Every structure is written in C-alpha cells, then in structure tokens.
Chain A
Amino acid sequence: MTKIALNLISGRTIQQGVAMEGGKEKDAYTKACGIIEMDPSDLKKLGAWRSTNVRVTSPHGSVVVKAVEATQGPHPGLAYIPMGPWANSVTDPNTYSTGMPTFKGVPIEIEVAMDEKVLSSVELVQKKCRGEA
C-alpha cells in the first residue's frame, strides 16, 4: 500500500464557513470539511483518483477524509484540510508555550482507504472522545 508524506495546513474556506453556519451536524459540513485538498502531482504519487477516501496519519492522530484536487493550487508537497474536527484529529497540539497549537505545518502520511467511511463531525468527535476512533 503506497504511503506518501506531505506537509499539512488547515484554514478557512467559504464552503466551510457556509456549512458551519448551516449546522455542523449536517452532511454539508462533512462535505465541506471532511476532505483533504492535494496537488494533482501528489494524487498521482499516491495513485489515487479524485474523490477517493484516504487515511491521514500524523504523530498526533489519524482520520479518514476524502481526497480532492487542490482548488487553490498548485502546491506540491502541501496538503490542505479545511479547519474543523477532521483537521484537528491530526494537528499538532504543541503551543511552544504561547497558547497556540501548531495548526499549520504538520508532517502527515496519506494512504488510500477506499472502504473506510468519512465520519460526520459529531460522530468523529464523540468516537475520538470515547477512544473508539
């Protein structure tokens, strides 16, 4: 199974904003934020088609999201998950004693996870808190 290493950042997108205000328990929020934007060249390296589910793993956790082609690329080597519980399942909690976790610049590994499901925000956080995901 191919694994590729990328540098992960997260942030706002207008779709994330709209879906968040529409209700975080709704599917639209999962569609907007349960994704990872990857450069076409990196998708090729991974040997994944657009819109396949992938497992993203960092030293701080692991999460399944849908891989999509970068909308604001090119940015080879860089991956982007809109801010939300999916990104925060793998972000680096180190604050360097400033209070601010390291949400941007997290080394991650990505592998294809065809038959794994992208959880909704509520399911994801509840399962993580119960230690089930």
Chain B
Amino acid sequence: MDTVTLTMKNLPNLYLEADNISPDVFAGKKAQEIAELHVFEGREQFQLGKYFDVSGSPAAAAADTRIVVKGDTTRVKYIGMKMSAGEIMVEGNADMYTGAWMQGGKILVKGNVDAFTGIGMKGGDITIEGDAGNYLGAAYRGDWRGMQGGTIRVKGNAGSDTGYFMNGGEIIIEGDVDVHVATHAEGGRIIIKGNGKSKIGGQMVQGEIIVFGTIDVMMPGFKYIEDVEMEVDGTTANFALYHGDLGERHPKKKGQIMYGKLYQMI
C-alpha cells in the first residue's frame, strides 16, 4: 500500500466540499497533481493544496492507495464519497457524507462524523471510533434504495434514522441510538449494543434489528413470537424475537409471510 498524507494547514471559513479525497481519484497521480485537485468552499472553487499539505504518493491503482487525513477536518464534507477501493484514515473528525455512496474499500475515522455517513452505500467497510450523526447508512431523499451492502461499525453512539430504507449490509452501533431505526427497511441487519429510544422498526417490511439494551417505547406493530439463543457479534445470549411492523405490507415467500425481525436481549 502506498500512502498519501493530507495535513490541514488552512482551515476553511465555511465548509469544504472535498469529494476528490478518494483513492479512486488520487491513484496514479503525483503529489502536485493531487494538490491541484479542486475543492469547493461555498460557491468558490479552490485547489486542495490551499487547505492541505500533500505528501507521499499514491499507487497506480486505487486498491493499493491509502490516504491519511491529519489535522482539524471537522468541517470537511464528502471524504471518500463513491470510493470503490483502497483505504482512508481520518485522524480527527469528519463532517457530512463521509463514505457516501461508497462501493468498496475501507474508511476509518478516529473521531466523530456528522450526518449522512454511508448513505446509499453499496459495499466496503466504514469504522467510526467516535460518534456518528443522523441518517447513518440511510437512503438519499426520495430513494427507496438505501444501504445495499457493506459494513458500518460505530464504537460510540449514533443519531436518529439509522438504516433508513436499508436494503442490505450490516450496521453495528456499540453505543446508544436516537429515535427511528430501520424505518422502511426491506433488508439488512442493525445491531445496537447500547440502548434504543422509541420508534424502533416502525414501518419495517423486512430485515433485522438486534438490541442489547433497553427500548423506551415499543412500536405497537411488533408482536412477541419466541425466545431464541443467538451469537451476535461475539456475544451469545437469549433474545426475545418480535415480528413487525404488523401495520406494514409484507411480501410472501413460498406461502410464508416475511416479517421484519426485532430481537431484544433478555
């Protein structure tokens, strides 16, 4: 793996739109060419080099390219957007749309990320060591095709609307989540190791939610089925299985009605 290091030197007054920070874009370029890639601050277009020191050089292919982002990047959007291969490591925080529409490769953020992380994600692997904002692994507005595949792991807490319109892949929240989990989900799996609030699984068609902790208010459309023992992300325990959302339509497979599944640890 060849590494390119970006170090924030001039903070933007507003926010930076840096969708060019991706192994797919960097691969095969010289440090100078990378520094000349455009970023946007508001309506003004500038060069990446205006804000970042660029060192090291990428490999010829995205898959062999690693990007390390240093400094205060709390106000940088779109890091790793649409990336298909390679790795990005952000040492601090990142703003919105980190790994949005991601197709492959790995993103590691040591700090926090804001809203819309991994929206429309198709594949790859995102790890957030801090907290994640709202609409994690959700769908873009109006789209019924949310997260399709890949894995998102958040070591801290996540905001509201996690896995909105989720169709596939896996989201693991090691902390707590805010309201609305897997709303409109038709597939995929969300593991919450901390506590949930309310509105969990509302309007869910298919898919799985597993909650280790508490749920403030259970949705009325979830019906207790049975207790099951399962191994979940390294923990084996007994869970109460609920089917829902009974207020939603549900497809049939081989005469069997397919429900969304909500497991809560007992």
Q: Does B73 contact A (CB under 8 A)?
A: no
Interface size on A, residues (CB 8 A): 2
Write out the residue numbers on chain A whose beta carbons fall within 8 Å of the beta carbon of B178. Answer: 96
Q: Which residues of B contact A97 (CB under 8 A)?
A: 115-116, 133-135, 159-161
CA separation between A96 and B178, bound complex, in Å?
A: 9
Find chain A residues with CB under 8 A from B115 CB: 97
Q: Is the interface of B mostly helix, strand, loop or mixed?
A: loop
Q: Which chain A residue has the least Cβ–Cβ distance from B116?
A: A97
A131 CB to closest chain B CB, in angstroms?
A: 22
A96 to chain B: which residues have CB within 8 Å? 134, 159-161, 178-179
Main secondary structure on chain A at its contact with chain B? Answer: loop
Instruction: Give residues 100-147 of B contacting A (CB, 8 Å).
Output: 115-116, 133-135
Chain A residues closer than 8 Å to B179, beta-carbon distance: 96
Closest Cβ of chain A: how far from B119's Cβ, in Å?
A: 11
Contact with B along A85-100 (1 / 0, CB 8 A): 0000000000011000
Query: 1/0 per residue B152-166: CB within 8 Å of A?
Result: 000000011100000
Q: How far is the CA of A97 from the CA of B115 in the complex (A)?
A: 7
Separation of A96 and B134 alpha carbons in the complex (Å): 7
Task: Give the CA-CA distance A58 to B99 in the complex, in Å.
Answer: 36
* Docked pose: A97 CA to B161 CA in angstroms: 9
Task: Please measure, in the bound complex, the distance between the C-alpha atom of A96 and the C-alpha atom of B116, giving whole angstroms.
Answer: 11
Give Cα A96 to B133, complex, Å. 9
The distance in angstroms between the C-alpha atoms of A53 and B133, with both chains bound, is 39
Cα-based distance from A2 to B179 in the complex (angstroms) = 33
- Give CA–CA (A97, B117) in the complex, Å: 12
Name A13-70 residues within 8 Å CB distance of B: none
B160 contacts across to A, CB distance below 8 A: 96-97
Q: Once the chains are docked, how many angstroms separate the CA of A96 from the CA of B138?
A: 13
Closest A residue, CB atoms, query B135: A97
Q: Which residue of A lies closest to B178 (CB)?
A: A96
Q: Chain A residue with minimal CB distance to B134?
A: A97
B95 to chain A, nearest CB (A): 12
Give Cα distance in the complex from A30 to B135, angstroms.
39
Bound state CA distance, A97 and B135, in angstroms? 8
A115-B81 Cα distance, complex, nearest whole Å:
57
Q: How long is the Cα–Cα vector from A98 to B73 in the complex, in angstroms? A: 24
Q: How far is the CB of A105 from chain B (nearest CB, A)?
A: 12
Question: Considering the chains assembled together, what is the distance between the CA atoms of A97 and B159 in angstroms?
Answer: 9
Shortest distance from the beta carbon of B243 to any chain A beta carbon, whole Å: 27
Closest Cβ–Cβ distance, residue B24 to chain A (whole Å): 27
B161 contact set on A, CB distance < 8 A: 96-97
Q: Which of A104-121 contact B (CB under 8 A)?
A: none
Q: How far is the CA of A97 from the CA of B134 in the complex (A)?
A: 6
For residue A117, give the distance in angstroms from its CB to the closest CB of chain B. 38
* B159 → chain A closest CB, angstroms: 7
Shortest distance from the beta carbon of B126 to any chain A beta carbon, whole Å: 18
The 8 closest A-B pairs by CB, nearest first: A97-B134, A97-B115, A96-B160, A97-B135, A96-B134, A97-B133, A96-B161, A97-B161
Q: Which residues of A contact B (CB under 8 A)?
A: 96-97
Known: A96-B160, A96-B178, A97-B159. 11 other contacts (CB 8 A): A96-B134, A96-B159, A96-B161, A96-B179, A97-B115, A97-B116, A97-B133, A97-B134, A97-B135, A97-B160, A97-B161
List 14 A-B pairs, Cβ < 8 Å.
A96-B134, A96-B159, A96-B160, A96-B161, A96-B178, A96-B179, A97-B115, A97-B116, A97-B133, A97-B134, A97-B135, A97-B159, A97-B160, A97-B161
